[in-house]
Amino acid sequence: MSGESEDFVPVQRLMGELSVDQGRLRLQPCGGGRQLDVQDAGSLGLLREAEQMLGGSAGRLFADLAGNDLGDKLQATRLYRLQAEGQGCQDADFGRLIARASGNEPFWSVSISAKGLILQRPGEEPLAVPYLEEQLPEGRLYFSSEANGHSLSLWLAPQRCQDDMSGALRHLSAELRLDGQRLTGCAYLGGARQ
């Protein structure tokens, strides 16, 4: 093998229910089966964040992590999402999703797939539009559309972001400009984009 260690373990994305048991993190991956001990190999602050979200109770959180899957252990190197509520493992659209962003006051949500971009807001019909995507330096992404009488721009940047209402953590910050109005929020990459 040209320069590769026999111990090389590829980084893998795993999602499931995360629990805290006597100061240890345990992940039950979506679909059941084995339980994994989670080691925070990326200085992610996972234990602190999980304990804070659970508020000392013995509940479970949905976690979307990347790291080295060592069979009975996950060495977590990246946090995509950590949340106490939401679809989690039941998100049927996750595999087709490039990214999802959302914000509050006023609430807005953008889902992006290969088929298009959908903006949802309370009291408004969903707005489905085609889009252009640009990959920018430092892992930033830019999505834009001018269709159906609307001008929309969405910037995503790698920066830990916490939803100010639910407390959910995401790995991207989001800024949406819709017809001149600036809205902020958080985002994560979907299953169609790692």
By CB atoms closer than 10 A (0-12, 13-18, 19+), residue 140 is middle
Q: Measure Cα distances from 5 to 33, 67, 149 in Å.
A: 29, 17, 55
Architecture of the CATH domain 92-189: Beta Barrel (2.40)
Q: What is the pTM of this model?
A: 0.90
Tell me what pLDDT residue 1 has: 41
Tell me what pLDDT residue 194 has: 67
Tell me what pLDDT residue 8 has: 57
Q: Which fold, 11-83?
A: OB fold (Dihydrolipoamide Acetyltransferase, E2P) (2.40.50)
- Tens digit of pLDDT per residue, the chain (194 long)? 444 444 556 789 999 999 998 889 999 999 887 899 999 988 899 999 999 999 877 789 999 999 998 889 999 999 999 999 888 899 989 999 999 999 998 999 999 999 999 999 999 999 999 999 999 999 999 999 999 899 999 999 999 999 999 999 999 999 999 999 999 999 999 999 86
**What is the spatial distance between Cα 165 and Cα 78, in angstroms, rounded to a whole number?**
23
Q: Where are the domains of the chain?
A: 11-83, 92-189
**What is the spatial distance between Cα 154 and Cα 112, in angstroms, rounded to a whole number?**
11
